[in-house]
């Protein structure tokens, strides 16, 4: 590129001896932006034979940002008086561009003027030297700013890596939490999640005085089905029944869960007994429509339904036991049916 040079600072012909390099050396990528080739050559000679420094210069200020993006400097040496664009404005450009916004900028000026220094620092410069500076001082400042910049970059990278690690850990924890609540076979909530959810909705119902319903569901004669068709076929039945449960309890506040074995449960919130019965009817009808052969008939389910307005004297266990008692009656009365817990049946007695 015109006006830009990449030079290896090692110069066998240079009379200058290398400046001692710190033990914890950092490689300095130095970019000098100055339209005077003589200045560029003078700085090149100052940095010659420094094994920890790569020197590049650009004599066309309009190319400075492009060169900086390619070179990726750790320090920019910026002249202030340049044709076509003010060096101070170029410093401001560095701070606005993502590739250079945090790269240290050392301003080189022919004037030791406090007002110019102040403006340079306000524009975003990190340091200010009157050119041509002392060789030892220039090398020391380049190394200082390189070290500070690379440490900053490493901290940023470490922070980003830490944040990504935290995000990954959070995703893993969320997945583990999900797995602890999900039944592996059916994808429904498991017994633990059902207990937690019912307890939380019971407390909410106490506060808002809204009813909670529990539907206890049992796959009729499931042991016989397993014995006749095998456990793999039995698992498939449980999966298909669970899909019907999910479509039957379709509100975001409804929960369908596997209670254990061939038993399932649905929690409905803010619902009337008639509404709970409607869900149960949809469920029973949906399982019938699966039309899964079972002996002389087809796979069916029995459902016990209980709806209670939460009270301090009644517990969630009482609600579950009431629904379970209704399920027992449904099975005793011939299965493939729904039985509702009667409102006049004493709940407190259920828990005794």
Q: What is the pLDDT of residue 220?
A: 96
Question: Average of pLDDT values for 288-312?
Answer: 94
Tracing tokens 């006049």 back to the chain, one arrives at 344
DSSP 3: T
Q: What is the pLDDT of residue 114?
A: 92
Q: Show Cβ contacts of residue 55 under 8 Å, excluding neighbours closer than 6 positions.
A: 7, 8, 9, 30, 32, 43, 44, 47
Q: What is the pTM of this model?
A: 0.56
CATH topology for 4-157 is: Rossmann fold (3.40.50)
pLDDT surpassing 60 at residue 78: yes
pLDDT surpassing 60 at residue 345: no
Question: Average of pLDDT values for 21-33?
Answer: 75
How far, in Å, CA of 66 to CA of 31, rounded?
12
Torsion, Cα of 158, 164, 169, 172 (10° steps): -160
At 9, the pLDDT band (50, 70, 90 cuts) reads very low
For residues 335 and 221, is the Cβ–Cβ distance under 8 A?
yes
At 178, the pLDDT band (50, 70, 90 cuts) reads confident
Q: What is the pLDDT of residue 163?
A: 84
Q: What is the mean pLDDT of the chain?
A: 88
pLDDT surpassing 90 at residue 231: yes
Q: What is the pLDDT of residue 132?
A: 86
- Percent of the residues in the chain that have a pLDDT greater than 70, as a whole number: 90
pLDDT surpassing 50 at residue 351: no
Domain ranges (residues) in the chain: 4-157, 191-350
Q: Is the dihedral of CA 39, 42, 48, 50 positive or negative?
A: negative
pLDDT surpassing 60 at residue 36: yes
How far, in Å, CA of 118 to CA of 191, rounded?
70
Q: 22-31, 113-122, 260-269, 313-322 — which is least confidently predicted?
A: 22-31
At 179, the pLDDT band (50, 70, 90 cuts) reads confident
Q: What is the pLDDT of residue 285?
A: 96
What are the CA-CA distances from residue 231 to residues 112, 222, 226, 262 (Å)? 90, 10, 5, 12
Domain 191-350: which CATH class?
alpha beta
At 347, the pLDDT band (50, 70, 90 cuts) reads low
- Percent of the residues in the chain that have a pLDDT greater than 90, as a whole number: 67
Does the annotation count 262 as an active-site position?
Answer: yes
Q: What is the pLDDT of residue 238?
A: 97
SS3 290: helix
Q: 17-26, 133-142, 167-176 — which is least confidently predicted?
A: 17-26
pLDDT surpassing 60 at residue 41: yes
User: Residues 41, 137, 157, 262: which is the catalytic one?
Assistant: 262
Q: What is the pLDDT of residue 166?
A: 85
């Amino acid at each position: 590129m015109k006006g830009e040079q990449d030079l290896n600072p090692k110069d066998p012909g240079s009379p200058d001896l290398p400046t001692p390099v710190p033990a914890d050396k950092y490689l300095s990528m130095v970019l000098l932006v100055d339209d005077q080739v003589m200045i560029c050559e003078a700085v090149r000679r100052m940095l010659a034979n420094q094994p920890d420094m790569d020197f590049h210069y650009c004599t066309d200020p309009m190319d400075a940002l492009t060169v900086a993006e390619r070179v990726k400097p750790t320090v920019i040496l910026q002249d202030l008086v340049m044709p076509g664009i003010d060096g101070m404005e170029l410093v401001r450009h560095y701070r606005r561009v993502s590739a250079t916004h945090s790269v240290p900028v050392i301003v080189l000026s022919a004037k030791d003027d406090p007002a110019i220094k102040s403006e340079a620092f306000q524009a975003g410069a990190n340091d200010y030297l009157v050119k041509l500076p002392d060789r030892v001082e220039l090398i020391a400042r380049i190394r200082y700013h390189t070290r500070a910049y690379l440490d900053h970059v490493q901290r940023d990278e470490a922070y980003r890596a830490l944040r990504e690690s935290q995000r990954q850990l959070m995703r893993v924890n969320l997945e583990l939490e999900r797995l602890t609540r999900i039944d592996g076979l059916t994808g429904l909530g498991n017994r633990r999640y059902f207990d937690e959810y019912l307890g939380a909705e019971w407390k909410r119902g106490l506060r808002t005085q809204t009813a909670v319903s529990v539907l206890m569901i049992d796959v009729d004669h499931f042991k016989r089905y397993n014995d006749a068709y095998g456990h793999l076929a039995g698992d498939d039945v449980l999966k298909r029944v669970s899909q019907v449960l999910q479509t039957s309890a379709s509100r975001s506040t409804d929960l369908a869960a596997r209670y254990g074995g061939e038993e399932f449960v649905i929690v409905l919130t803010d619902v009337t007994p008639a509404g709970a019965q409607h869900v149960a009817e949809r469920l029973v009808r949906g399982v019938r429509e699966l039309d899964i052969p079972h002996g002389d008939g087809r796979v069916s389910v029995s459902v016990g339904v209980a709806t209670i307005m939460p009270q301090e004297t009644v517990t969630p266990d009482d609600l579950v036991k009431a629904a379970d008692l209704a399920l027992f009656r449904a099975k005793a009365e011939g299965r493939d049916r729904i039985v509702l817990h009667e409102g006049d049946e004493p709940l407190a007695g259920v828990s005794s």
